[in-house]
Structure 1
């Protein structure tokens, strides 16, 4: 068992210094930094990497799940491994952990890419007809990478997931990881850029995989999805997928008009999430880590303040108002709600502690102590 121990602000600053190449550490500071990194390495190995599929590189949503790998969850697991590997980069003797963690992230990113490449026909059809039928899947068989059977009614159309993949891909490639190997893969990444470009007029099922808050299987425009697409397009425009070894043929380009329309629509919707959701916690990772899509400081503060005012509770954040997910009043045997059922969940919504972590990260990056 890993020993739980509190992390002091001083140790966090020391860890940040160890990850910053512009900061020189003394011998004692390097030892302390390595001890912190080794602790987090043990946590990542025990709580994350042991569940990675040895064939596809994907991760399950729950530790007890053995058959289904989720793209969104896998991306965040890959981010964790990659971020920790960047910390080890500064050490003289990293015991091979920098490379190990980096390659774990590469395996996940390539696993997602190859799963989607098997569905390239869907991308071509989706570019012509923006229908959920032709959406790239957001979960796959954990061992084979094939589509999961019996998910016809599942909300696979989650444009924010594809945008998050692109954003993460760019950051990892820029840091020096080699993820894209061939021109076929370059062409496919360019194609999924086209796939997400029209997010400003494409209703999807959003971060919660349910569409409207009435959970009746109807997709809608989500500010969180559009914002993530905006951030992804800004990141990948002009990016060379071969890194420093690439040529003009491996550079990705973005339709500037599509980006401007996504930006305008996103800023118009904020601080609202969608037509049915006045406020939604999914806006927090959109305007803060990992996307930072809101460049207007006043709009960022208004949206953040609204999420805190309406959704923050003692144990975490509500996903949105009248959310019945895992509520004691929810019928777990029905996929969709009946008309008017959401009013039963008012005031008894579940609270999700993970959004406190988003706020901590945002506070560290923006140097906001509160």
Structure 2
């Protein structure tokens, strides 16, 4: 029986993950500038994506390099997934056009190529997946960095903190999203079985300490791992998304469906709610919680806990040029010794008040405002981001910003004197 318009308007918004987390965007009415036609606006974005992302995509593996200058051949799973997501999101917008001049196909398959490149790198380490299921520890995990051209392993587990379950969870989450939109990423039963094994690994996140998004584990950077809210939250979101999902899309059958242990999912949910609003035992709060509680994971159903966590992140980490990663973060500060991987005991006290700021988290807050329909929040963080943007004429004119804003030596001196 059809409901009346009044009844539909009075019902609370659903928080369930339906076909896509982008469904809520249909009900958002934010002011949009009317500059030219839809084709003109998408053409500008296409030029930016081509100039800043797709031109650097590896023609062999489909991965994206961590650095676009110099001879650095590293490709991080996290970075490649977000680059693929940008191309895929623009492809979704191009679907609104009748004649897209082949751009939808190009953008979609650039994303598919990256997703399959990550899958190729992972499947070459299938033996590690089996080992991790039996004995989850840093030496048995999937790697998080690969060679951008060949997909080979880079850096041993002793040289780098590869145990980042959030990267695997993010891959599963985008795999579901892209497949739901009609992309074909998984081809055969071997790949279906491998994805199911990845799900088995992710299910155990609630009891597997890892190095987290920042690859350092404990706040004290002494080589120890911790249980991170951001990792547990991404795992919870990935498990919710992939449970009962058919990896072959509309052309699938019963044996291409992925299943999740509901008890494991509940343990992850309970662990996440008990950890928040903290990030971990040593991290009082962390900017890594933003992609956990908001885009792309949307891991929380409790609105009060969401607002408490978000308020704590903004209150403690927001700065003039961006957000600090966490308090007393020595990464790329003038007082950090680049020749040592780990810190000395109590060394993090030196970095109090001189933490670097990252403008990218202003973008996270803008995206969060879009999804929640908060035009004021979008405007606030757009105004904060504008002064740090640098105009470029490469490709189609667009804007870039520094990845990080460190304090100068004089600023560090004045802060430490305080």
Note whether the superposition's TM-score is higher than 0.5.
Answer: yes
Give per-residue Cα distances to partners, 1:264-298, cap 9 Å, x unaligned.
00011000000000000000110000000011000
Residue aligning to 1:239:
245
Return 35-44 or 150-159, whichever deviates more.
150-159
What stretches of structure 1 move > 6 A for 4+ residues in a row? 20-23
Residue aligning to 1:44:
49
How many residues get paired?
346
Note if contact 2:138-2:157 (Cα within 8 Å) is conserved in structure 1: no
Cα RMSD (Å): 1.5
Residue aligning to 1:288:
294
Are 2:342 and 1:299 equivalent residues in the alignment? Answer: no
Note if contact 1:21-1:90 (Cα within 8 Å) is conserved in structure 2: no
Give the Cα separation in 1 of the matches to 2:143 and 2:93. Answer: 33
What SS is found at the alignment partner of 1:140? strand
Give the Cα separation in 1 of the matches to 2:275 and 2:117. Answer: 34
More contact order relative to length (CA 8 Å, sep ≥ 6): 2
Query: Relative to structure 1, is the Cα distance of residues 285 and 30 closer, same or farther in structure 2, using a 3 angstrom cutoff?
Result: same
The counterpart of 1:76, out of the listed 73, 82, 87, is 82
Residue aligning to 2:7:
none
Residue aligning to 2:187:
181
Q: Which runs of 5+ in 1 are unaligned?
A: 1-19, 24-28
Note if contact 1:173-1:241 (Cα within 8 Å) is conserved in structure 2: yes
CA displacement at 1:30 relative to structure 2: 11
Residue aligning to 1:63:
68
Query: Relative to structure 1, is the Cα distance of residues 150 and 221 closer, same or farther in structure 2, using a 3 angstrom cutoff?
Result: closer
Give the Cα separation in 2 of the matches to 1:149 and 1:282. Answer: 24
Give the Cα separation in 1 of the matches to 2:112 and 2:27. Answer: 26
Note if contact 1:271-1:299 (Cα within 8 Å) is conserved in structure 2: yes
Q: TM-score, normalised by structure 1?
A: 0.91
Residue aligning to 1:10:
none
Give the Cα separation in 2 of the matches to 1:197 and 1:283. Answer: 19
CA displacement at 1:60 relative to structure 2: 1.1
Residue aligning to 2:272:
266
Residue aligning to 1:165:
171
Residue aligning to 1:223:
229
CA displacement at 1:34 relative to structure 2: 1.2
Note if contact 2:139-2:157 (Cα within 8 Å) is conserved in structure 1: no
Alignment of 1:1-370 (within 5 A): 32-64=37-69, 65-150=71-156, 152-369=158-375, 370=377
Give per-residue Cα distances to partners, 1:155-182, cap 9 Å, x unaligned.
0000000000000000000000000001
Q: TM-score, normalised by structure 2?
A: 0.81
Q: Which runs of 5+ in 2 are unaligned?
A: 1-24, 29-33, 378-418
What SS is found at the alignment partner of 1:282? helix
Give the Cα separation in 1 of the matches to 2:26 and 2:162. Answer: 40
What SS is found at the alignment partner of 2:146? strand
Give the Cα separation in 2 of the matches to 1:31 and 1:237. Answer: 42
Residue aligning to 1:6:
none
Note if contact 1:30-1:91 (Cα within 8 Å) is conserved in structure 2: no
Give the Cα separation in 1 of the matches to 2:36 and 2:251. Answer: 35
Query: Relative to structure 1, is the Cα distance of residues 228 and 21 closer, same or farther in structure 2, using a 3 angstrom cutoff?
Result: closer
Note if contact 2:64-2:148 (Cα within 8 Å) is conserved in structure 1: yes
Give the Cα separation in 2 of the matches to 1:274 and 1:22. Answer: 35
Note if contact 2:35-2:41 (Cα within 8 Å) is conserved in structure 1: no
Query: Relative to structure 1, is the Cα distance of residues 320 and 22 closer, same or farther in structure 2, using a 3 angstrom cutoff?
Result: closer
CA displacement at 1:69 relative to structure 2: 1.1
Query: Relative to structure 1, is the Cα distance of residues 188 and 150 closer, same or farther in structure 2, using a 3 angstrom cutoff?
Result: closer
